[in-house]
A and B are shown apart, each in its own frame.
Chain A
Amino acid sequence: MRHQDIPLDTVLDIYTRVLRIRRFEEEVGRLFRQGQLPGFVHLYIGEEAVAAGVCAALTVDDTIISTHRGHGHVIAKGGDIKRMMAELFGKATGYCKGKGGSMHIADFDIGMLGAIGIVGGGLPIAVGAGLSAWYTGSDRVSVCFFGDGAANEGSFHESLNLASTLTLPVVFVCENNQYGEFTPAANAMNITDIADRAAGYGIPGVVADGADAFEMYRVATAAVERARGGDGPTLIEAKTHRRGSHAEGEEAFLGGQTYRDEAETAAAQAKDPLRLLHTYVSENNLLPADLLETLDFETTQLVAEAVEAARNSPDPEIESLYEDLWV
């Protein structure tokens, strides 16, 4: 890791985003295990540096599109933890009034255009957000987060080709956590680096270390500048690691079947993005220990308050089914 080209307030900003995602996701995992959350949840633990680094390179007007593993993206873009938590509980006070749930959180006020439960479903929409920026002469940039698995959907090919053909301001961020559900990426594609596919569209393809929040910030900044400058899309591949299950509760569901290589998992877990960041900012005296402690305390507090508020919020009224329909 290195930080020298990154201003200190940005270092703190990135750290805060990573920490916030981690504490939120840890709590969501606990709540799910206790049977307090309906539906499915897919946690972002281990991948925080990707969303944090990328979103720190964006303005509030820039937009992002997310996936089924989307909590980290919302938080990194500046989402409200209270409204997120309430949505996960399916409550009326949630971001989508309990209508969306974990896989469909959105905050259009901060350019978070929605999480999408269909793998690869976000890529074309991100192209459209880039198209509207180009059309209106806005300098807005559209960022699309998606997984290694999604890179094998037809929508990946069509979207990258369309965005590159029209030279649209889109940054494609592939979070290669090496698995799609229980299938290793190596079994689902014949190449090691998804970034190599960029060549097929005549755009830059960059491999980045997804455990290094500063590197993510750096490559995202370059791609965003390129997009904003009218030079078209970039494909960033973040090599990352999904710490836990594909979806929470999978151990019970898998009935003893395993699918991960233990040695590989241990090696990847040694590269915990939060720990790496914590060690780095401490050893380089970038952020004082008491500040880091206070931050952690406040974040944990914030998450606890969000849970409390969500629990005490009402379920949606049945009549709300007939709101937010066509006009």
Chain B
Amino acid sequence: MPRRTYVAAIQEALTEEMRRDSRVFLIGEDVRIGVFPSTRGLHAEFGDKRVIDTPISELAVAGAGIGAAVTGLRPIVDLMFGTFLYLAFDQIANQAGAMRFMYGGQTQAPLVFMVQNGAGSSAGHHHSQAVHQFFMNMPQIKVILPSSPYDGKGLLKSAIRDDNPVLFLHSLSLGGKRGDVPPDEYLIPIGVADVKRAGSDVTICAAGPTVYTALDAAATLAAEGVDAEVIDLRSLSPWDKGTVLDSVARTGRFVAVDESFPTCSAASEWAATVAQEAFYQLKAPVQRVTNKDVPMPFSPVLEKAVLPSATDVIKAVRLTLA
């Protein structure tokens, strides 16, 4: 099976979908050159009309995507870094997500917002935040945070074909990660988790880069005789409660690992759901492992200390076993 980097897999998904459907186009700052190489080369194939470089105007670009979507196109709006979504918040929170409902089912906004999510490049607070949790909190915005080239490709294709606004988050820290990507077309449904490691003692739930943190922790725990199940949620909204609750029913222990600031993190939602719906199966209180509750620091030493680590996960698992 061909091996692809994460960015190459995303680029394949974009290429295939743009070939398939002439309504699909890409718009954003420097998407031709490709600030993230995932959009590189598309301009050569699809030209000016379908790969549109814009001024630095996130609010207008996001809104233009919405306007194009409600009038029949299927835009992919690339806003580069997750933190730049803050500048487009109104258009996403007030408009895109609510439109079908607010206008009584008359319309829909089938578009994809694509950004890089999270830290790992020591770029300071403005370029290192994970933002998925804000959008999980918005009704009717689908949120995807894949961890592998395979998932990235399959989920992005589904996002482009989805009739709703979808936020597709990729991780700078995973950009060079390689994985198997089948040559034949495939889709991965939004909202379905992937069990990365089966286990019977504790359920660890993660998404994006924290999947690898959780797997590292699980490997260490295995050597100590603790058998952890690691679930990669892949989709954050909607998310696969069923797979998580089934797992907790077997393990009786739950640890949520999430690169968000702790309050109202994605982990908060997972943990609350497990505490509410699997209370009588739990053998110990649920645990959350998140960023430390501070802005993102620049120093590599500090940045590493802010992010969830395998050591943090192991500690949390031990708490559930105590």
Contact = CB atoms under 8 A, between A and B. Distances in A.
Label chain A's interface by main secondary structure. Answer: loop
Interface string B210-238: 00000000000000000000000000000
Contact residues on B (Cβ < 8 Å of other chain), bracket = 35 or more
B201 interface: no
Interface string A170-183: 00000000001111
Contacts of A100: 124-125, 298
A38 interface: yes
B302 A183 contact: no
Contacts of A180: 29, 55-56
Nearest to A257: B33
B53 A316 contact: no
Contacts of B294: 321-322, 325
Nearest to B123: A39
A101 to B, nearest CB: 3
Given A103-B124, A104-B125, A180-B55, A321 B302 contact: yes
B3 interface: no
Which one of A103, A118, A316 has the highest number of Cβ atoms from chain B below 10 Å of its Cβ?
A118
B298 A150 contact: no
Given A100-B124, A103-B123, A154-B87, A119 B56 contact: yes
Nearest to A98: B299
A134 to B, nearest CB: 27
Nearest to B298: A101
A99 interface: yes
Contact of A38 (B29, B300, B305): B300
B29 A183 contact: yes
B33 A254 contact: yes
A121 B126 CA distance: 10
Which one of B29, B121, B302, B305 has the highest number of Cβ atoms from chain A below 10 Å of its Cβ?
B302
Nearest to B83: A118
A188 interface: yes
B40 interface: yes
Given A152-B57, A321-B292, A90 B298 contact: yes
A187 interface: yes
Contacts of A322: 294
Contact of B302 (A87, A98, A150): A98
B104 to A, nearest CB: 30
Interface in B58-87: 58-60, 83-84, 87
A153 B40 CA distance: 25
A315 B122 contact: no
A46 interface: no
A187 B55 CA distance: 8
A153 B56 contact: yes
Contacts of A90: 122, 298-302
A199 interface: no
A286 interface: no
A36 interface: no
Given A149-B55, A183-B30, A316 B299 contact: yes
Nearest to A254: B33
A182 B297 CA distance: 27
Interface in A155-209: 180-183, 187-189
Given A87-B298, A100-B125, A325-B294, 18 more contacts: A39-B123, A40-B121, A90-B122, A90-B299, A98-B298, A103-B127, A104-B126, A116-B126, A117-B123, A117-B127, A182-B30, A182-B35, A183-B30, A188-B54, A255-B37, A255-B40, A320-B302, A321-B305
Q: Which 4 A-B pairs have the closest CB atoms?
A: A101-B298, A117-B126, A90-B299, A98-B299
14 contacts: A39-B123, A101-B123, A103-B126, A117-B126, A120-B87, A121-B126, A149-B55, A154-B59, A183-B29, A254-B33, A257-B40, A315-B299, A316-B299, A322-B294
